Structure 1
Amino acid sequence: MMMTTLTRRRFHWSLWAVPLGLLLAGGATHVVLMLLPAPADLDLARTQTSAGGSFVATVAPGDLAIDRQMTWQFDIKDAQGAPIAASALRVDGGMPLHGHGLPSQPSAPQSLGGTLYEVGGIRFSMPGWWVVKVHRATPDGDDIAEFNFLM
């Protein structure tokens, strides 16, 4: 069966129109998600128990700023109140509604003695809802405490 010129044109049109349409639809969805407000019942508490209950963390972020490297202190203790090895901890985060992480790579937690730790290199690049996560490596996988920030 031979393709006519009109059929070939329709076929060529569909080769780029379908992927372009999917790309535009995905972009529009992303823009709508970016414009959504943070949840009304957002927990802004500065002390959080990890999801698995293996530790409790308190964050002292100091002065919050957009587009500036910040150094924060955390008080992190296991369920019995004992310090946790700094090597078992890491910090990351991002913007849930935008689907991206922090624009910086926070430093590894440094022990300040006892249950106090310092983490540098935390940066928020724009206004909005940010989440900072403290991870604790356990034999069963990471246990995570999440802190919400509205900038």
Structure 2
Amino acid sequence: MQVKLTCREGCIAICLLFSFTATAIENNNLLEDSVHSDNSHTMIRIGEKMLHSAEAAQAESISLSLHSNRLRKSLNQLRRQLHALPKGREHQLLKHTTDIVAKEIPLWQEQISRLRNQALEQRKRALILLEKAYVRTWQPHIRLTGRIRGAESDNSIAGHNISIRSVHPGKLNMNSSPGKRGSTPGMSLEIPSLSGQNIPDELNLSSSRISRKLTVFAHVEPETATTLVPLNQMHQWRLILSKLDGQPLSGAEIAIEGHMPGHVHGLPTQPRVTEEMAPGVYRVQGVKFQMPGWWVMTFNIRVNHQDDTVTFNIRL
């Protein structure tokens, strides 16, 4: 019975793999056609379809992974039964069944890996297409494309604050380098400073992102003359929110959080949205970064009792 169930599930997995592969080919063809299109709405529609296809492939890879784990547990049980069974015809039959199941597991793992890689590639290409379309749609509100950059500054690094911890307060900060002690004129207390971070090599630093639940497109940029982020200076940002179809997301309740991964502090200020300048275009005041490094800014968005989150990585 175990062998019949396994083969059936294997056939289902193969069919699903062919289905998602065909969808990937179709979406890639649509993407190539959209490159030469000036219709932002068409680009958004294609990008949205690709994005949801990528999420479906990722979800299916998780489902197949659970099936594969159950199959592995069944294999372990078969091996225990085989070890306890005396030599004979039943032993040979059980060994044959065990060999079939053992050969099937790598095939499942290969299928899972293909689905995951396909999902990652589709999502990456979809986000590129969507960002290009959204930037066109939201002109002239968007001045900055690409990553958020910091302005050069000769200001000294301000002290850490601990309003938000990036690590558990009961654990040592494993991402920091050894503390450096030093005195500053006018200060009577010496404290160690955290000067190191483990920054991922492929950190997404784009100023445009899709929300965690795939319901909101968000773009953020400093409202400065050069669109560069000043260090140790209070400034304001412009936050643009829209639905995935490009329509403005108006009347949103937005809570803002900021911190440095690997450090035990957050922002020295509490930024907040002060006005909606146009439908979906929000002004954020009270932004200040007191030191260079990797910052994470999170916007918790609530509209019509629906919650979603957009996170931006900033390297200053």
Fold match, TM over 0.5?
yes
Report the 3-state secondary structure (helix = DSSP H, G, I; strand = E; otherwise coil) of the residue aligned with 1:80.
coil
- Do residues 133 (structure 1) and 298 (structure 2) align? yes
Matches within 5 A, 1:84-123: 84-123=249-288
User: 8 Å contact 2:302–2:308 — kept in the other structure?
Assistant: yes
- Please state which structure has a larger fraction of its residues in strand: 1
Report the 3-state secondary structure (helix = DSSP H, G, I; strand = E; otherwise coil) of the residue aligned with 1:96.
coil
2:203 — aligned with what? 42
User: 8 Å contact 1:66–1:123 — kept in the other structure?
Assistant: yes
Counterpart-to-counterpart distance in 2, 1:126 and 1:110: 27
Higher mean displacement: 119-128 or 71-80: 71-80
User: 8 Å contact 1:136–1:143 — kept in the other structure?
Assistant: yes
Counterpart-to-counterpart distance in 1, 2:210 and 2:173: 36
Segments of 5+ residues of structure 1 without an aligned counterpart are 1-24
Give how far 1:110 is off.
Answer: 1.6
Give how far 1:109 is off.
Answer: 4.7
Report the 3-state secondary structure (helix = DSSP H, G, I; strand = E; otherwise coil) of the residue aligned with 1:108.
strand
Counterpart-to-counterpart distance in 1, 2:284 and 2:309: 16
Q: Which amino acid aligns with 1:60?
A: E
User: 8 Å contact 1:86–1:110 — kept in the other structure?
Assistant: no
Give how far 1:28 is off.
Answer: 6.4
Counterpart-to-counterpart distance in 1, 2:221 and 2:214: 21
Matches within 5 A, 1:1-151: 26-27=171-172, 29=174, 31-32=176-177, 34=194, 35-61=196-222, 62-137=227-302, 139=305, 142-151=307-316
Indicate the percent of aligned positions where both proteins have the same amino acid: 27
Segments of 5+ residues of structure 2 without an aligned counterpart are 1-169, 179-193
2:121 — aligned with what? none
Cα separation, partners in 2 of 1:28 and 1:131, compared to 1, 3 Å: closer
Counterpart-to-counterpart distance in 2, 1:91 and 1:37: 24
Deviations 1:89-133 (A, max 9, x none): 222211112142211100225211122111011111111100111
- Please state which structure has a larger fraction of its residues in helix: 2
Higher mean displacement: 64-73 or 27-36: 27-36
Q: Which amino acid aligns with 2:230?
A: A
Larger Rg: 2
User: 8 Å contact 1:89–1:109 — kept in the other structure?
Assistant: no
Give how far 1:30 is off.
Answer: 6.3
User: 8 Å contact 2:250–2:280 — kept in the other structure?
Assistant: no
Deviations 1:18-77 (A, max 9, x none): xxxxxxx95564644951331111101111000111100011222211111110111111
Q: Which amino acid aligns with 2:256?
A: V
Counting matched residue pairs gives 126
User: Stretches of 4+ moved more than 4 A in 1?
Assistant: 25-28
Counterpart-to-counterpart distance in 2, 1:27 and 1:76: 38
